[in-house]
Amino acid sequence: MEQQVSQRSIKKYMVLFPVLALLVCFVILKGADMESVWNAMKSAKPQWLAAGLILAAVFNIAEAINLRSVLNSFGYQVSFRQGMKYAYTGYFFSSITPSATGGQPVQLYVMNKDNIHVAHGTMALLTELTSFQIAAFLMENVATFWILTGRIRLNKMMLALAALGYLMNLIFIAALVVIMLSEGLKKKIVNGIRFLIMKLPFGNKKRLGAKMDEIVRDFEDCKLFFKRDPVLALKVTTVSLIQIICWFSVPWAVYHAMGESGSSYGSMFLHQIILYMTTALLPFPGAEGISEFSFVKLFAGIFTSVPVAAAVLVNRGISFYFLLVLSGIFSIVLGHMDRKSKSKMKVKLEKY
């Protein structure tokens, strides 16, 4: 897992992201009755909005629990506050960079400042990512079953996006299983992919080969951790499952906040899984644009008494922008608290 985004690039994305967000809002509201949208948002039930915020907040808390558990298994004494700092930092920088490439390098930098070895920090992040992907894949299989049995119908575009998203995660899980269970098959697949890369008539073949080797090393690291402590691996995956269930339940809270009724929790949850699948392929910062587009396409027939534009803004505001702002604020606050704590400790040591 290498640093993929420079400090200069991150600063550029921090400037460009608000512009992109405003552009998306403009597109959502274009042609909508602004008064109806505003009235729908203004009359949203506060108790259900609070429920949505709590469900969304679990996302970062779960990641903090997992990172802390893995790092402590290596012998560190990571506090829950430190775990939250790593989780908030990762979420913020992942959200403003394409394909979430900025989060993990910054997390490793922050961990290193806390005297956590890069190799251990990398393992913790890989384990968290893998457990999240496994939990998401379990959910995606349920949604895929409902699509294949005709209980949920999608138009061709949404079906294609969902299928590609599912395929990406399937490849990830399949690669992990192959590396964990069959060394011989792993070598054959890696050699086959390397052969295909060398036959490509375009692209930087050396760079592609190096990238493939990096991915294989990451999978090997995950295999070592899962074999070293399978009980902890199961615990981390369970926490990730709870994390996803809470996060995917936000539309259900928004549905009730907007005064809607008639659709079940299960239906809302399944549609949110499909929404997640449709956004997996496109490398936009924070899945900006594609998330709103998919929400409109999937939930337009569910939010019937309020403008779907209002539902999009409230849902996205809770499930993404609330966490983004929260992560930005607490990354700074917790970082400042840790620096202050270290300064006090240094003064005490100097006295002795």
Per-residue DSSP letters for 122-148? HHHHHHHHHHHHHHHHHHHHHHHHHHH
Is there a domain that residue 260 lies in?
yes
Is there a domain that residue 307 lies in?
yes
When pLDDT is cut at 50, 70 and 90, the band that residue 103 belongs to is: confident
When pLDDT is cut at 50, 70 and 90, the band that residue 195 belongs to is: low
Is there a domain that residue 1 lies in?
no
Domain extent at residue 164: 7-351
For residue 179, the number of C-alpha atoms closer than 13 Å in the C-beta half-sphere is 21
Angstrom distance (rounded) from CA 297 to CA 274: 11
Is there a domain that residue 245 lies in?
yes
% of the chain residues with pLDDT over 90: 34
Number of helices and strands in the chain (H, E):
15, 0
- What would the pLDDT profile of 261-285 be if each residue is shown by its tens digit? 889 999 999 999 999 998 876 666 6
Is there a domain that residue 180 lies in?
yes
Is there a domain that residue 247 lies in?
yes
Cα–Cα nearest to 170, from 145, 194, 141:
141
Report the Cα 85 to chain-centroid distance in Å. 16
For the chain, what is the domain count?
Answer: 1
For residue 262, give the amino acid letter: G
Is there a domain that residue 252 lies in?
yes
Choose the weakest-confidence range: 156-170, 221-235, 312-326. Answer: 221-235
- What would the pLDDT profile of 28-87 be if each residue is shown by its tens digit? 777 777 888 889 999 999 999 999 999 999 999 999 999 999 999 988 999 999 999 999
Angstrom distance (rounded) from CA 169 to CA 172: 5
